[in-house]
């Protein structure tokens, strides 16, 4: 299993979530975060924004679904301008469902 952490624009959140739901991946956790990237924030005239609001979407999926999920997220979250976000994938050794206590996703 893999954990996918996607940093996306907050205004794209609903679109991404509904697209994932439509493809059979309804489960995720989201949290608002602040961050900056290569461009060191955003310069609008004389005003410099060092950290910009993003939505972090975290989900754990089976190995075979990783490419599909990343495809959906990157397709829906893309605007083509800087600040579209990043997607990170990391390994997950074990998953437990608290309700049943079983080690299944």
Nearer to other proteins, 42 or 56 (CB): 56
User: Does residue number 90 form part of the binding site for other proteins (CB under 8 A)?
Assistant: yes
Rounded to the nearest whole angstrom, what is the least distance from the CB of residue 84 to other proteins in the complex? Answer: 20
Position 18 contacts other proteins (CB under 8 A): yes
Q: Are 73 and 21 in contact (CB under 8 A)?
A: no
Return the DSSP state at 85: -
Residues 6+ apart with CB under 8 A from 56: 5, 6, 7, 30, 31, 32, 33
Interaction between residue 69 and other proteins (CB under 8 A): no
- Kindly state whether residue 39 participates in binding other proteins, applying the rule CB under 8 A: no
For position 88 contacting other proteins by CB under 8 A, the verdict is: no
Return all residues near 39 (Cβ < 8 A) that are at least 6 apart: 82, 83
Residue numbers at the binding site for other proteins (CB under 8 A)? 3, 13-14, 17-18, 21, 26-31, 58, 60, 90-99, 101
């Amino acid at each position: 299993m893999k954990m996918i952490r996607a940093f996306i624009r907050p205004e794209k959140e609903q679109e991404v979530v509904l697209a994932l739901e439509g493809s059979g991946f309804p489960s995720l956790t989201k949290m608002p975060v602040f961050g900056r990237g290569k461009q060191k924030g955003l310069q609008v005239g004389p005003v410099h924004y060092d950290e910009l609001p993003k939505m972090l979407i975290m989900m754990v999926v089976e190995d075979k679904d990783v490419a599909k999920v990343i495809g959906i997220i990157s397709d829906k979250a893309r605007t083509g301008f800087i600040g579209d976000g990043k997607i990170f994938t990391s390994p997950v050794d074990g998953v437990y469902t608290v309700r049943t206590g079983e080690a299944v996703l």
